[in-house]
Structure 1
Amino acid sequence: MSKQHPGLKIIETWFEERAWEPFSYQREVWNNVLSGRNGLLNAPTGSGKTYALWIPILIRWINEHPETYRELTGNGLQLLWITPLRALAKDLEQALQTVVDELGIPWEVARRTGDVSAYKKRKMKQQMPEVLITTPESLHILLAQKGYPTYFEDLQAVVVDEWHELLGSKRGTQVELGLSRLKHLQKELQIWGISATIGNIDEALQVLLGADHNSDSSVIIKADVEKKLEVRSVLPDDVETFPWSGHLGTRLLPKVLPIIKKSHSTLIFCNTRSQSEVWFQQLLEAQPELAGSIALHHGSLDPKIRSWVETSLHEGALKAVVCTSSLDLGVDFTPVETVIQVGSPKGVARFLQRAGRSGHQPGATSRIHFVPTNALELFEAAALKTAAQNRTALESRDPILKPFDVLVQYLVTLGVSEGFHPGQIFSELKTTFAYQALSEKEWNWIMQFLTTGGKSLTRYDEYSKLVQEKGLYKVTDRKIKRRHRMSIGTITSDTMMKVKYMKGATLGHIEEWFITRLNPGDTFWFAGRAVELIRTKDMTAYVRRSNASKAIVPSWMGGRMSLSSNMSKLLRQKIHEAIEGTSKDIELTAIQPILKVQNDWSMLPDEDELVIEKTFSEEGCHLFFFPFEGRYVHEGMSALIAYRISQMTPITFSIAMNDYGFELLSDQDIPIEKALKQNLFSDKQLVEDIFSSLNDTEMARHRFRQICQISGLIFPGFPGQKKTGRHLQMSSGLFFDVFSEYEPDNLLLQQAYDEVLSHQLDEARLRRALKRIQSQKITLKNTKKFTPFAFPIMVDRLRERLTSEKLIDQVKRMQVELENEV
């Protein structure tokens, strides 16, 4: 054994010196990597996934250089490790470097992400490290460099970490495109993915390895490690006085403080950045002695602040950190013993991912406490606990097919560097999962678009980006090159403004639309402190510290998540258990008083039933539907139902929705009885009716702005010279109007409409929901009062019309009135 595999012997000795024993699944991965196979590793968070893929790379190196592995330096890039998060990259760099240092292998482990200095990046061009950890965006920036093939001439393997997080996003498509190029440069390249929580594992492997992968040379390995998990719900003392809707969960703060005190270190996950800012302030107000030992972490804070928080967590210097999804992924914070989830994460996989941040090491127990923000979230608490304990109902991540904006950006990337032969790149694209169905007609359109600007932009030289030289298509314009390298990536958001002290540090970034609502002198919470706005200049909001006890809580667009399809199904199952009285869940026991009110005033919808409630008030006629299919599906379904009823009789609606149902409100009686007799929930002509019911042009226009940024039609500006959101919106709107009128077959324009259907309205899931409803019993209930299920939906509608303070007062008053009637 030692003569044939000296590397294995050395690694086993290294494990023994640390009193470690490799898991059987780790040895299985080692054997498959050493046998030359590609694959996907599926293992729980904190079970040693990193070592499963890192160790066999070292074993092979020692096997190939048994006498000199301690002496060879400057070996070129051997392993490329792709990760979705900068924080994860930094953590990995330390973990991987520690192993080679202890083994005496003179390898350099480095990372190339947006927060790495320009000096280190220039140094890499001269001599690549043996291991490079990078993000999808930084990989494409490498592909945009002159002479990039030399960077990868020694490359042996690629590992894509947290593949479930990338799959189903345009960042995942970037990975697919990058791998297609690397596979051409290195024919024997090994590719492995790592995923902790995903439902469609077989499809995930296909997307990772591409449409041309050989199933005989690939494998899926599922870890046989039993990860201990404790899930507990934090319950209100009196559920009848607990909020029925909205709120941030701070009513349960007194019950959260003992959990924090008992644990050495705790992560408190909030679903939005606004919620995290509020919780941080509330914790400090409730227990001032926590000052200095708790911190805040979310994606809008300055990288230096986030880095300090992460380092302090590693060192065990923080008692608690209030965070968002910015700490979701596999960063190893060993001191963290407990996780608190505030509000429903809306998905099983996300819940388990966050739970795994505690006890993040083999054999340790992960502990997570669920803190509901309103009474009905107790249903979700029970559903999540059951799913987590049984490890069931993990969500699938559907891959994106043919995102043309990402492809346009990629081709310009290749044109900026070495140029490309269209025939060769087209063949490579056909090997990817995303572009396997790309037609020659579509390919020819894209090439024409990049070389001439297409039908609409032919007269403008700046949109003729590619020039043919001796069969190669290149970008020769220096201005286009510079702009492109500055805007590589697929992460888009509303225009961000820097938040900076008048004299001092940068705190982070906030969306432009929020700052434009403020006046100089206004105070708002940011980065865990109250700051006063002094002035704005050059996309920077200058502030100073404030001692104000009250301040505006900033909000960010797109903060709300929608219930996953698996969670929807679990939710309906829990309601069924509540009806049958078979559940032993303490959450369902706690919510019984509210369920009794719902049943007395209307009814509890069983799994094979759809309940519709009809109620009259001073506002008019209210219809409440309860499909329990999530906010995004309800957005499309509510517009569809409203349109179909309006086709029967002239009528105008106001629409509101949440994850459990939706409301149609009209100032006249709504003929729902008549509509139900005419197959109201049919899935026939679904797409036509949806686009007739919604302002599809405006929805597509909004999606098109992101497509414009990714494809390079609009340029957001250089650092320090960022363009305003209004400027970008006007620019993308102009393109949208021109293409709509003169080039309706423009692929980027078509993509905008496709994304509205597939992503914003989730057309496939909406169709499945309609088919399910068609097979159910539909019950119409005429109610005299707004029921506990209807009340939260109505509050969502009021939220759009009232300020937060006025809304809270009105909701409290309405809830007291309802409680008195109970």
Structure 2
Amino acid sequence: MRSKNIKNEYKLLASIALTFKSKYKLAAFEHTDGFKIIQQWMTDKGIAPFKFQLETWKKFGNGYSGMVVAPTGFGKTFSVFLALVSDFLNHPESYKKGLKMIWITPLRSLSKDIAKAMQEAIDEIGLDWTVGVRNGDTDPKVRQQQIKKMPEILVVTPESLHLLLAQKNNEPFFRDMKCVAVDEWHELLGSKRGVMVELAISQLRKYVPKIKIWGITATIGNLDEAMEVLIPYESKKTKITAKEHKKIDILPVFPDEIEILPWAGHLGNKLADKVVPIILESKSTIVFTNTRSQSEMWYQLLLDAHPDFAGQIAIHHSSIDAHLRIWIEENLSSGKLKAVVSTSSLDLGIDFKPVDTVIQVGSAKGVARFLQRAGRSGHSPFETSRIYCVPTHSLELIEVSALKEAVKQKVVEPREPQVLCFDVLVQFLMTLAVGDGFYPDELYERIKKVYAFQEILDKEWKSILEFLTIGGSVLKSYEEFHKVVIMEDGLYKVTSRKIAMLHRMNMGVIVSDAMLKVKFISGGYIGMIEEYFISKLKKEEKFILAGRTLEVAMIKDMTVYVRAAKGRALVPSYLGGRLPLSTNLGHFLREKLSHALNPKASEKELKFLHPLLINQEKNSHIPKEGEFLVEMIKNREGYHLFMYPFEGRLVHEVMAALIAYRISKLAPISFSMAMNDYGFELFSDKEIPLNEDNLQQILTRDNLMNDVIASINSAEMARRKFRDIAVISGMVIQNYAGQQRSNKSLQSSAGLIFKVLEEHDSNHFLIKQAYTEVFNMQLQEQRLVEAFKRIEKSEIILKHSRSFTPLSFPIKVDSLRQTLSSEGLDARIKRMLKLSNISDIS
């Protein structure tokens, strides 16, 4: 006992000593020249450093790598950037001329704004440093100048950093670097672009073993893992979290009457008149939509609702001409634009100080994305972020209530890191081989330290090397797959100029459909349009791009020549699918719905929806906590089965196929399927052999993944997934000089290779990756298993009805939207409402 007390006393003394030491170190840091100069600069600007910034500067000076976590607008950028400046001012003798920091940012649109803020600070502090930007928008002349003389700080995207690593004799560019900083790490984590960053850092560590690695991130659900992915190395590292919190006002936009808000929809056009006053009363507003086509529609809706907006509002998305995007960003920053309708292209980091209001059209689908968008308003510290939520249909108001609860409880989704992305690794090895080459044994030791490849096997590494040199055992007869040459000293190197050129043209991990330029026939560039959409249009047909109505004149040399036009026009639909509901938001949505009719429920959203929710309870049931609702509806069309897991569209797509398969084992029956984020429908012209006795059997977790595999064509799904893998790994070439292959052509080539490898080398590392991605991403295996665990513990509520319910109606409408024109759909919806005897709530 005495021994235990002594140990506790020692622990207490050690804790006091550490606290004193930490405070002493911070106090000591505050007496350094670097801190005094930066503090004076901040004082002159009327600001003071936050504690998390001070802590970052101190840790940086003591040789730490780390992660900074802070709300939007609190100076995350300056926490890491000024750490370098402070360290230089304190120890100028340890710095050499040339590049000192690489700043990696996920979006090109962020680069200019970040570089401008850094350059302004450097000039005012009095350093003779230059901040450069290098990405796809950078002038080729500027890039050449950078090769000759690197700036002190270089702001890059992951792709542009890899292109630098593909340069001959690139090591001198990086040799004297002190730090690599990764901005918005939460946005890159969980994607193959994040893996690109991990690999690039591993190469920079070869050149500068003691390089500091710093990540900057918003709050996510797995911060410790996020830091480990970025900095998996044995080094001093720390996580610094700001104590400051951003206040957010979440304001739903209600119609005057619930009858105005539709049961189903995806646009929210009936509330355009409510959005106009919000924009007029604000200094400047960003209107966020989830898709490019939705942004084009809302831009037109706002102009139609308030014609005086002409010249005061703009549209911003990735398909618009870069010069126009930059003009929009500059005019939004200066307060000259009243509003900008945007997609995720304005989600991140740009500091638009005049923006005091954000409007989210439709569901944000996740807490993290919602917080990111809300943070675009009230960007300065301690300003309140204000975000209005415009529901596109009635049930999205419950999502608003769910979002409020998630934000209140500070529950944010994790970003799961990607591992064993062999296609990205193959591309990276080609990048090194195009540059100065690599020695495989030395490189393998470094690759195994990268988080994404810590589980790589020796045989997989050997297969990758064989693939690079001779195409592997199956493709070795084809000369185009012999890309890397083994030199006499064992160096792996690309010696063909053609192979090197094609590799540089195809670097990156974002595989999209072929994009065609859109130009006026009289001259003037408008933007880009996907080939699959434009190929459906005939000459003189009209479409909308960048808020303009355009008429097709001709298509020539990957360019669509157009004339300005008026009248009705098609809005481009872009490949890429819809955003799925996150697990966290699904949880809060189920929770809010279960308490929706509780007399004590005080949320305005639930009170407003009371007539609709009463209708659901009257005609069927509102699932409570610990319940799982199944609806069976028989009408003139046939037999409908609806289930409501609230797990998001992707999971429901798999569940629908699985349940259909299990029912078909009870009796021969075929189904058509439909789904949304709340649930799914199975429809048949035959009676569905389902009742309370066999429901448990249908919804069991037993034999789950085997039944999933049996219910879907996993080989076909893997074949489609293989297209992207084949392009990223360079097995299939997408871009040639002046030409980009179409989606159809890529799928055909990749499909042929997939078939050959499946037949003759089914264990090929890229084939295995295709199946792994199908299970993890498309089949959502982990989320699916968790959903069935929850359902198995729930009480199954089976309800029969002769009319569609408020929960089932949006799913049915979503399925009709795929096959009917807008006029036909409106007529069909009215007929369905009438047949369901619910025309009073439409």
TM over 0.5: yes
Residues in 1 aligned to 2:745 and 2:649: alpha-carbon distance in whole angstroms:
31
- Write out aligned runs for 1:723-762 (5 A): 723-762=741-780
2:169 alignment partner in structure 1: 147
In structure 1, which of residues 638, 641, 646 is the aligned counterpart of residue 656 of structure 2? 638
Whether the 8 Å CA contact 2:597–2:610 is kept in 1: the answer is no
User: In the TM superposition, what is the alpha-carbon distance from 1:2 to its structure 2 partner?
Assistant: 8.9
User: In the TM superposition, what is the alpha-carbon distance from 1:25 to its structure 2 partner?
Assistant: 1.3
Residues in 2 aligned to 1:479 and 1:141: alpha-carbon distance in whole angstroms:
16
2:53 is equivalent to residue 22 of structure 1: no
RMSD in angstroms over aligned alpha carbons? 1.6
1:489 alignment partner in structure 2: 508
Give per-residue Cα distances to partners, 1:553-605, cap 9 Å, x unaligned.
11112241110000000101101221433321100100010000000000000
Whether the 8 Å CA contact 1:272–1:559 is kept in 2: the answer is no
2:72 is equivalent to residue 45 of structure 1: yes
1:100 alignment partner in structure 2: 122
Number of residue-to-residue matches in the alignment: 812
- Write out aligned runs for 1:343-742 (5 A): 343-388=362-407, 390=408, 392-469=410-487, 470-548=489-567, 550-673=568-691, 676=694, 679-742=697-760
What one-letter code is carried by the residue in structure 1 that aligns with 2:238? V
The gaps in structure 1 that reach 5 residues or longer are none
2:193 is equivalent to residue 175 of structure 1: no
2:243 is equivalent to residue 224 of structure 1: yes
1:305 alignment partner in structure 2: 324
User: In the TM superposition, what is the alpha-carbon distance from 1:447 to its structure 2 partner?
Assistant: 0.8
Residues in 1 aligned to 2:536 and 2:785: alpha-carbon distance in whole angstroms:
39
Give per-residue Cα distances to partners, 1:652-698, cap 9 Å, x unaligned.
11111000000011111111227735622233332222121112222
Whether the 8 Å CA contact 1:234–1:255 is kept in 2: the answer is yes
Distance 1:279 1:2, change over 3 A: closer
What SS does the aligned partner of 2:518 have? Answer: strand
Residues in 1 aligned to 2:163 and 2:519: alpha-carbon distance in whole angstroms:
28
What SS does the aligned partner of 2:263 have? Answer: coil
What one-letter code is carried by the residue in structure 1 that aligns with 2:123? D
Distance 1:518 1:767, change over 3 A: same
Whether the 8 Å CA contact 2:30–2:36 is kept in 1: the answer is no
Residues in 2 aligned to 1:3 and 1:352: alpha-carbon distance in whole angstroms:
34
Whether the 8 Å CA contact 1:270–1:324 is kept in 2: the answer is yes
Could you tell me the TM-score, scaled by structure 1's length?
Answer: 0.97
Distance 1:218 1:279, change over 3 A: same
- Write out aligned runs for 1:155-166 (5 A): 155-166=177-188
- Write out aligned runs for 1:324-339 (5 A): 324-339=343-358
Give per-residue Cα distances to partners, 1:151-202, cap 9 Å, x unaligned.
1011000110000000000000000000111112111110110111311101
Distance 1:820 1:128, change over 3 A: closer
Residues in 1 aligned to 2:131 and 2:718: alpha-carbon distance in whole angstroms:
44
2:256 is equivalent to residue 234 of structure 1: no
Give per-residue Cα distances to partners, 1:528-555, cap 9 Å, x unaligned.
010001111222211110022x111111
Whether the 8 Å CA contact 1:244–1:815 is kept in 2: the answer is no
The gaps in structure 2 that reach 5 residues or longer are 1-27
Distance 1:361 1:440, change over 3 A: same
Residues in 2 aligned to 1:521 and 1:436: alpha-carbon distance in whole angstroms:
56
Whether the 8 Å CA contact 2:316–2:341 is kept in 1: the answer is yes
Whether the 8 Å CA contact 1:467–1:476 is kept in 2: the answer is yes
Whether the 8 Å CA contact 1:656–1:664 is kept in 2: the answer is yes
Whether the 8 Å CA contact 1:137–1:488 is kept in 2: the answer is yes
Residues in 1 aligned to 2:177 and 2:100: alpha-carbon distance in whole angstroms:
4
Residues in 2 aligned to 1:391 and 1:35: alpha-carbon distance in whole angstroms:
35
Whether the 8 Å CA contact 1:206–1:213 is kept in 2: the answer is no
What SS does the aligned partner of 1:434 have? Answer: helix
What SS does the aligned partner of 1:192 have? Answer: strand
Residues in 2 aligned to 1:509 and 1:18: alpha-carbon distance in whole angstroms:
42
What SS does the aligned partner of 1:510 have? Answer: strand
What one-letter code is carried by the residue in structure 2 that aligns with 1:302? D
User: In the TM superposition, what is the alpha-carbon distance from 1:409 to its structure 2 partner?
Assistant: 0.3
Residues in 2 aligned to 1:518 and 1:2: alpha-carbon distance in whole angstroms:
65
Residues in 2 aligned to 1:821 and 1:187: alpha-carbon distance in whole angstroms:
70
What one-letter code is carried by the residue in structure 1 that aligns with 2:145? K
Give per-residue Cα distances to partners, 1:222-254, cap 9 Å, x unaligned.
111132221110011211341111240111111
Residues in 2 aligned to 1:737 and 1:796: alpha-carbon distance in whole angstroms:
34
Residues in 1 aligned to 2:523 and 2:834: alpha-carbon distance in whole angstroms:
48
Residues in 2 aligned to 1:492 and 1:723: alpha-carbon distance in whole angstroms:
11
Question: Which deviates more from structure 2 when the two are superposed, residues 795-804 or residues 49-58?
Answer: 795-804
What SS does the aligned partner of 1:624 have? Answer: strand
In structure 1, which of residues 809, 812, 815 is the aligned counterpart of residue 833 of structure 2? 815
2:13 alignment partner in structure 1: none
Distance 1:241 1:184, change over 3 A: same
What one-letter code is carried by the residue in structure 1 that aligns with 2:47? W
1:213 alignment partner in structure 2: 234
User: In the TM superposition, what is the alpha-carbon distance from 1:757 to its structure 2 partner?
Assistant: 1.2
2:149 alignment partner in structure 1: 127
What one-letter code is carried by the residue in structure 1 that aligns with 2:51? S
Distance 1:675 1:397, change over 3 A: farther
What one-letter code is carried by the residue in structure 1 that aligns with 2:399? E
Whether the 8 Å CA contact 2:816–2:825 is kept in 1: the answer is yes
2:82 is equivalent to residue 55 of structure 1: yes
What SS does the aligned partner of 1:673 have? Answer: coil
What SS does the aligned partner of 2:739 have? Answer: coil
Could you tell me the TM-score, scaled by structure 2's length?
Answer: 0.94
Residues in 1 aligned to 2:56 and 2:662: alpha-carbon distance in whole angstroms:
55
Residues in 2 aligned to 1:612 and 1:424: alpha-carbon distance in whole angstroms:
58
2:218 is equivalent to residue 200 of structure 1: no
Whether the 8 Å CA contact 1:268–1:322 is kept in 2: the answer is yes
Distance 1:671 1:2, change over 3 A: closer
Residues in 2 aligned to 1:816 and 1:280: alpha-carbon distance in whole angstroms:
33
Distance 1:4 1:820, change over 3 A: closer
2:288 is equivalent to residue 269 of structure 1: yes
Whether the 8 Å CA contact 1:271–1:559 is kept in 2: the answer is no
What SS does the aligned partner of 2:745 have? Answer: helix
User: In the TM superposition, what is the alpha-carbon distance from 1:3 to its structure 2 partner?
Assistant: 11
Residues in 2 aligned to 1:338 and 1:768: alpha-carbon distance in whole angstroms:
37
Residues in 1 aligned to 2:737 and 2:118: alpha-carbon distance in whole angstroms:
33
2:9 alignment partner in structure 1: none
Distance 1:675 1:531, change over 3 A: farther
User: In the TM superposition, what is the alpha-carbon distance from 1:4 to its structure 2 partner?
Assistant: 6.4
Whether the 8 Å CA contact 1:579–1:606 is kept in 2: the answer is no
Question: Which deviates more from structure 2 when the two are superposed, residues 725-734 or residues 302-311?
Answer: 725-734
Residues in 1 aligned to 2:30 and 2:714: alpha-carbon distance in whole angstroms:
68
Whether the 8 Å CA contact 1:656–1:662 is kept in 2: the answer is yes
Whether the 8 Å CA contact 2:646–2:677 is kept in 1: the answer is yes
What one-letter code is carried by the residue in structure 2 that aligns with 1:343? G
Residues in 1 aligned to 2:151 and 2:325: alpha-carbon distance in whole angstroms:
26
User: In the TM superposition, what is the alpha-carbon distance from 1:312 to its structure 2 partner?
Assistant: 0.9
